[in-house]
Amino acid sequence: MGGKLWGARFSSKPDVMVDRFHASIGFDKRLWREDIESSIVYSRMLAKQGIISDSEAATIIKGTFAFDESLEDIHTHIEDALIRRIGPLGESLYTGRSRNDQIALDTRLYVKNAILELIHLVTELQVTLVELAEKNQDLVMPGYTHLQRAQPVLLAHHLLAYYEMLKRDKERLEESLKRTSVLPLGSAALAGTTFDIDREFLCRELNMESVSSNSMDAVSDRDFVVECIFCTALSMAHLSRLCEELILWSSQEFGFMEISDSFATGSSIMPQKKNPDIPELIRGKTGRVYGHLISLLTMMKGLPLAYNKDMQEDKEALFDTVDTVANSLTILSMLLKEVEFKGENMLKATQQGYLVATDLADYLVRKGMTFRKAHQVVGDIIRMAEAKNKELHQLDVKEMKDFSPLIEEDVYEWLDPRSCVERRNINGGTGPEAVKRALSKAREELQS
């Protein structure tokens, strides 16, 4: 008891430094639930197949354990605890099973549960965005390209863009479940086992979708870990983009919104400061998740079949990624519930910078001009307006008519930012009716 599971072949103990460097219990102890769950099902299967008796299986299932840093991994802890509690019978639990297929299963069970939790948290953030969009349906703001004011849009339309990003994130996570929910037990170390293991029974009892087809692939596959981290890295990219906008919008230069005091911090030297630390931290933690993805891809790229100790390095990257993404989704949803948008400042920003220029060109097209010509005419008008330090709606008809006789008094209907938004009710557009349809569709998707 307390020795290495692999120690019989060795004539001396490992150096203390080797033990420390080699041990994984410091992080893989997080897999204790998965390891116990799979071990209970495995012992029931051994009894079902007549490999051990029903009474032996019942005795094994009653086992308990406590963590001991001298034991190198979670599997050793559980076996050691069983042997201490029930004697040599505890050793029977590992009949036909290796740490290689066992850790593969534990990790798959962990990733599966993590994905389900992340899907829930993504959905919660989607709900928050929809509620925020519904609450602010009438607010008009500048839409941007190249971080330059481009055209007026509804704030609700802008927020729903992130809803769509999160919807794709959720779809990717859901699709990855199929490739995660694969049973590796029965693969043993790499070649399979000589015992009559009922893999289909294990698959059903552990609620997995399929049984692995190749024992060597099963113990050396970490695609599902990489895929999980990739999916969450992309989610973090989307959160980071939203956080960047929250940081900009809450600055005095934009003045579009204010973050609640509950989700901001101050300065130790400047009493007036209110800093958007939470969005900044999420933006920063995105790089952390990217780093884990690159780390795993690099680790796996040169490994020969089958299992290699390098693969132990997947756990810390996986656990930290799941924690980071889950915490980011949770706190961002909380923050957004308390933001306050400044509609007057947003609308005022749409009235500066010639955001209605495209609508003026569309107006000329409707009067019979080609769009390419209209684009040129409006560009000439803007150059003149800039010289006079005027916005388009501040020009009189005569000033504009000098560039095209097609321009009449009705042009002003096309130079109001609100009317520009209201004309864009095409499906997927920023018009009020289009946004209402999008909100209704989002609600239906969330309820289903």
Catalytic residues: 146, 267
Measured distance CA(239)–CA(225) in Å, rounded: 21
Measured distance CA(395)–CA(412) in Å, rounded: 10
Cβ neighbours for 309, distance < 8 A, ≥ 6 positions apart: 22
